[in-house]
Amino acid sequence: MHPAQMAMSTHLKVQIAIIGGGIAGLWLLNRLNQAGYDTILLEKHALGGGQTLASQGIIHGGLKYALNGNLSPASSAIADMPERWRACLQGDGELDLQGCRVLSSHYYMWSSGSYRSRLKAFLGSKALRGRIDALKPAQYPAFFRDTDEHRVPGTVYQLTDFVVDTPSLISTLAAPWRDRLFQCRDIQLSSSDDGAELTLDTGDSAVTLQAARVILCAGEGNEALLADWEHPYTLTPPAMQRRPLHMVTVKVAHPAPPYVHCIGDSLGMTPRLTLTAHPCKENNGGQWIWYLGGELAESGMQRSEQEHQAFAREELQSLFPWMDFSQSVWSSFFINRAEPEVSDQQRPDNAYVEACGPVLVCWPTKLTLCPNLGDSVVDILDTQSLMDRDDSLPTLKVLNDLLPTPDIAPAPWEAMR
């Protein structure tokens, strides 16, 4: 490397540096650059490799959090999220997501017929008008119509929610800013007189990157970054909580993919089963990867992988007796949801962002709340006096010479496809 370039590469400047290449970091990379902030993103491994690609891709308006018969803060906070996402998918929103694949334009809720009348009355109430519609059997999605001699009991409801293909979403968000995406496996956070500093290990040398603001979007990784951060501020960085899941994937030969919450009798805030389907690479014979979450995934932490897969099979056979799972292929894995700590390990109601000196700590808490996170971060930055935006081309050139562009991580079900 030329000596002059070596000198320049040891100390670089950027206005904003994001750490973490999941949905939160990529959303903010797009939103902030479009708002005029000079922003780059650093990812240790691969884009979407944590919680993002382990999510089911459901863009929901919070109705599943009202299954106890009440509109909770969590339900009310995200009611307009599907509309905002749809605007982006049509090219009319704050971000252009026209390249993102939509797997299902609607999501559904199915009661097996045994649930309580109070919930049925609530689902038909004025409070939910426009957010949920009870369907007649002729209007059911194909999966519930193609049941041979079996009559589907209960009621199927159509929600305003829908499902996106998460690998496609990551690809769409990354595409416009490939020259601002960098993979660096060792990132150290510290403070400086003008903001924050990041020390990046490039393999051959250490690069110091000065940023007016650093935004932590690293999910579980936020905890370690904050623990190692040496700073002069009299503040206590936010604590993190983990809510673990045991997700199940099953390869099924059936032409009609299901996208549905299956409601049990508990009247809790979590459906008995939340089901999405993802296409196989070669969709011979209508093969899909079914992806199972909901109460099944939350309770599955108490089971081994073998036990959990057997339990999931019993659940599916009980719910869908018209299906034959004898030739299906099963797998499961553990994943933590990283969130800001709240009392009693409850769900946070909104996307979370807290300013800690020159560092903004973010957890979107839910995929669907990324627009809410973007609003909060922009509102904070717009009220702060950041250092003037410098010409970023020298910094980008050096970083692109020293650091690779991160790949998109494989989805958890990729090996089964």
- Domains, in order of start, for the chain: 3-52+169-239+346-416 (3.50.50.60), 103-164+244-339 (3.30.9)
Strand (E) or helix (H) holding 145: helix 142-145
Share of the chain above pLDDT 70, in %: 86
Alpha-carbon gap, residue 16 to 28, rounded angstroms: 10
Encoded tokens for 106: 């609607």
pLDDT of residue 67: 61
Q: Is the dihedral of CA 221, 226, 228, 229 positive or negative?
A: positive
Alpha-carbon gap, residue 125 to 385, rounded angstroms: 47
- Residues of the chain under the 50 pLDDT cut: 1-9, 117
pLDDT of residue 204: 82
> Nearest CA to 23 among 279, 363, 274?
363
pLDDT of residue 5: 43
> Nearest CA to 389 among 8, 16, 11, 7?
16
pLDDT of residue 152: 84
Alpha-carbon gap, residue 262 to 274, rounded angstroms: 6
Triad 315, 321, 327: Cα angle to 5°:
80
pLDDT of residue 117: 44
pLDDT of residue 62: 77
Hey, which bits of 145-299 come out as E strands? Answer: 155-159, 162-164, 181-183, 187-192, 195-201, 206-216, 240-253, 260-263, 273-279, 287-293
pLDDT of residue 112: 74
Helices within 64-123 (DSSP H only): 73-77, 81-89, 117-123
Q: How many CB atoms lie within 10 A of CB 208?
A: 16
pLDDT of residue 230: 85
Q: How far is CA 248 from CA 1, 34, 222, 260, in A?
A: 49, 38, 26, 15
pLDDT of residue 1: 42
